[in-house]
């Protein structure tokens, strides 16, 4: 194995580099997506009750999407010369997701808890979107993709507990 010694300073000249504000926004989304992955796995392992198998499999979708989206956000951060931080301590300190129980959780409660977690991540995406878009439309496009999928997952999972024409929020009829 040979080691190359760089005697000169390497200088990259990117056409765009993230501001502190953009870095902070992307970090918030990364943390929430990372925590959604962890919460989804905790739920996946501990859900019990009616419709267990369907929810168990849906939780795998949440976990896979959260993991893939966190990787996309982290790699976007690196492309903008931001250092992502998804260490356990950072995620625990910075997440906006509600805590998931350590114990077994009934399927109906799991539905409500995982939907709340998904909506927390979507809320972060919506909160940061306009400021991200003003500085970096490419990163905003990534947020669009994440929001589209997360809100679809939340709707599909939440439907397990909804009662037609009686649950809130009520559907809009035109």
pLDDT, tens digit, 9 for 90 and up, residues 89-116: 999 999 999 999 999 999 999 999 999 9
Helices (H), 47-136: 52-79, 88-94, 107-135
pLDDT mean over 122-129 = 98
Mean pLDDT, the chain, integer: 95
Is 32 domain-assigned?
yes
Q: Residue 169: is the preceding peptide bond cis (ω within 30°)?
A: yes
Q: Give me Rg for the CA atoms of the chain.
A: 19
User: Measuring CA to CA, how many Å separate 129 from each of 21, 23, 64, 102, 136?
Assistant: 12, 13, 23, 32, 10
What total number of domains does the chain contain? 1
Residue 153: which domain range?
20-158
pLDDT computed for residue 55 by the predictor = 98
pLDDT computed for residue 84 by the predictor = 98
Query: Helices H, strands E: what count in the chain?
Result: 5, 2
- Residue scoring higher pLDDT (25 or 13): 25
- Is residue 4's pLDDT more than 90? no
Is 8 domain-assigned?
no
DSSP string, 155-168: HHHHTTT--TTTSS
Residue 102 CB neighbours (<10 A): 8
- Is residue 5's pLDDT more than 90? no
Is 106 domain-assigned?
yes
pLDDT computed for residue 16 by the predictor = 77
Predicted model pTM: 0.92
pLDDT mean over 1-7 = 67
pLDDT mean over 117-124 = 98
pLDDT, tens digit, 9 for 90 and up, residues 15-56: 778 899 999 999 999 999 999 999 999 999 999 999 999 999
Is 15 domain-assigned?
no
């Amino acid at each position: 194995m040979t080691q190359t010694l760089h005697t000169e300073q390497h200088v990259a000249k990117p056409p765009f580099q993230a501001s502190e504000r953009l870095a902070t926004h992307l970090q918030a989304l990364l943390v929430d997506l990372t925590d959604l992955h962890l919460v989804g796995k905790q739920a996946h392992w501990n859900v019990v009750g009616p419709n267990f198998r369907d929810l168990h499999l849906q939780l795998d979708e949440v976990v896979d999407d959260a993991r893939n989206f966190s990787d996309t956000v982290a790699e976007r951060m690196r492309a903008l010369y931001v250092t992502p931080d998804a260490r356990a301590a950072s995620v625990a300190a910075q997440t906006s997701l509600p805590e998931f129980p350590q114990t077994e959780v009934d399927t109906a409660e799991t539905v409500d808890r995982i939907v709340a977690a998904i909506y927390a991540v979507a809320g972060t995406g919506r909160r940061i979107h306009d400021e991200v878009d003003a500085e970096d439309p490419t990163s905003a496009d990534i947020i669009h993709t994440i929001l589209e999928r997360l809100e679809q997952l939340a709707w599909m999972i939440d439907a397990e507990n909804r009662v037609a024409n009686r649950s809130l929020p009520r559907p809009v009829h035109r």
